[in-house]
Amino acid sequence: MKQIVTGGQMKFLDDYTIRKIGIPSLVLMERAALSVYQALLEEKFPLKKVLVLCGTGNNGGDGVAVARMLHVTGVSADICILGKKDHYTEEMRKQVNIAENYHISFVKNAVPAEYTTIVDAVFGVGLSREVDGIYRDTIEALNRSEARIMAVDIPSGISADTGKVLGCAVKADVTVTFAYEKAGLLFYPGASYAGKVRTADIGIYKLPRNDFELSVLRCEEKDLYRIPERKPDGNKGTYGKIFLAAGSRDISGAAYLSACAALRTGAGMIKVHTREENRQVLTTMLPEAMYSFYDDEEIKKEQIQEGLTWADVIGVGPGLGTGQQAEDILYTILAEGGKPLLIDADGLNLLAGRMEVLTQYPAPILITPHLGEFSRISGVSVKEWKEAPLYLTRRFAQKYHLTVVCKDSRTVISDGSEEIFINTSGNSGMATAGSGDVLFGILMGLLAQGLTAKEAAPLGVYFHGMAGDLAASQKGEYSMIAGDMITQTTEILKKRGTVL
């Protein structure tokens, strides 16, 4: 797991390192600047003529120090400072003073088009309002230039918390961020403004994870070891039994994809409860699953009860429909399930406006809404969510006592606790029909093998994104389809235990 920070947390850590640990601010700044200087060389930036664009805060201070490092190695670097002298921070004032002693050239009205490389040190985590005026004009000119752009800490104009563009923002080729990745570098559009992100250790105190009031995390490949190990003496029962209510009249794809993904992820057994019309297609396509079918008659509660008693994990929703039968099935499960429960798609649509029923359920619940569904069940608009994704996802999980996987290009996962996850795997090819059903299946499979909802959710989402990335590498983002992601789960599971 990788620790991510918000802008506020980074400021706290800077401050803690300086005041409590005692590392002087200028020492951190020197290391920050050195890491940017090294990245310019390693990333082979064209250093024929460099412009370092600085603000008046400490991000600007970093920039002035980078210009000095370039200057002393014989690179022609101009410094252009936006903002008034009396706004300089103490560190910025010192850096400017040093640069003046070195006779580095300061330019007033830089023309970005004249430079081969531009270092963006206008705003870092201190950006506090919309960018306008001279800042906006300069950033727009910079984005129009042919120069390669290196952002210091975060592209100026990007919110470190949400990745939002505040007015306008620098489009960087590479961003060197200090100590921790900022949430705004992971969320879109920030992620696409940042280009390649390099994280540099500059000596900031590494606060233990538990000491963060809110710990923002992301999974990485080595977390695959968290997928439960296969036991040599295991049997079908060892790996869990799933009861899945999915599919509706002549809608079988979602049931197939989620059941198949659950088995491919390693679940021991799955019983699919679906409409009679799906019998032939499902039993032909997935004979490995067990089935119980229902028709036009009233829902046979005993049939469902039998499945619920037998199962370790329950899933409901994919392709279920929102008619009376679907509703009866869902409410029977809610009343009598009593086992870890996953709800997706139509299951969630049926719950809109009645979410509080979930707080009565006696076992853990995991739901996987996309943003539209989240909006319907929470009353939070998509626009509002984008303003505060971490806070709103967590608040919702707390309110209904469940684990929520809020699906977007950067899925956010929260169980309401102090640990919240942002997922970074995956690609636009996964925006294809059935992709969510595959995720649902993977999550059912992980829960069936004994992970808790909190453990399974971030890992399953990451795993699903990896499967999507592998599928894209083989079929391309245009052509990949949901079934390709199931195929790739096999490859990923083969890696489990081999990736360190």
Ligand X SMILES: NC(=O)C1=CN([C@@H]2O[C@H](COP(=O)(O)OP(=O)(O)OC[C@H]3O[C@@H](n4cnc5c(N)ncnc54)[C@H](O)[C@@H]3O)[C@@H](O)[C@H]2O)[C@@H](O)CC1
Summarize as ranges the residues that interact with K ion (CB under 5 A).
120, 151-152, 156
x/- map, 106-135, ligand X, by CB under 6 A: -----------------xxxxxxxxx---x
DSSP three-state, residue 65:
helix
DSSP string, 162-175: T--BSS-----SEE
Structure tokens at 345: 């798609």
- Binding status of residue 175 toward ligand X by CB under 6 A: no
Residue 196 CB neighbours (<10 A)? 11
| Nearest approach, Cβ of residue 50 and ligand X (Å) | 18
DSSP three-state, residue 177:
strand
- Binding status of residue 199 toward ligand X by CB under 6 A: no
Query: Rounded to the nearest 10 degrees, what angle do helices 482-495 and 453-475 cross at?
Result: 110
Q: Are 58 and 29 in contact (CB under 8 A)?
A: yes
Q: What are phi and psi of 413, to 5 degrees?
A: -125, 130
- Binding status of residue 28 toward ligand X by CB under 6 A: yes
- Binding status of residue 375 toward ligand X by CB under 6 A: no
- Binding status of residue 170 toward ligand X by CB under 6 A: no
Residue 383 binds which entry of K ion, ligand X, none, with Cβ cut-offs from 5 to 8 Å by kind?
none
Residue 91 identity (one-letter amino acid): E
CB nearer to ligand X: pick between 28 and 453? 28
* Cα torsion 458, 462, 463, 465: sign: positive
Helices (H), 215-288: 253-264, 279-285
Place of tokens 């538990």: 210
Residue 25 binds which entry of ligand X, K ion, none, with Cβ cut-offs from 5 to 8 Å by kind?
ligand X
| Nearest approach, Cβ of residue 4 and ligand X (Å) | 15
CB nearer to ligand X: pick between 124 and 340? 124
Residue 156 binds which entry of K ion, ligand X, none, with Cβ cut-offs from 5 to 8 Å by kind?
K ion
Structure tokens at 388: 């505060």
| Nearest approach, Cβ of residue 154 and K ion (Å) | 6
Q: Was 103 annotated as part of a binding site?
A: no
x/- map, 48-87, ligand X, by CB under 6 A: -------xxxxxx-x------------------------x
| Nearest approach, Cβ of residue 129 and ligand X (Å) | 4
284 contacts: CB under 8 Å, gap ≥ 6: none
- Binding status of residue 95 toward ligand X by CB under 6 A: no
CB nearer to ligand X: pick between 60 and 465? 60
- Binding status of residue 314 toward ligand X by CB under 6 A: no
DSSP string, 387-442: HSHHHHHHHHHHHHTSEEEEBSTT-EEE-SSSEEEE-----GGG-STTHHHHHHHH
| Residue of the chain from 3, 76, 89, 305 that contacts ligand X (CB under 6 A) | 89
Binding site for ligand X (CB under 6 A): 14, 18, 25, 28-29, 32, 55-60, 62, 87, 89, 123-131, 135, 152-153, 178, 202
**Which residues belong to the annotated binding site for K(+)?**
59, 120, 156
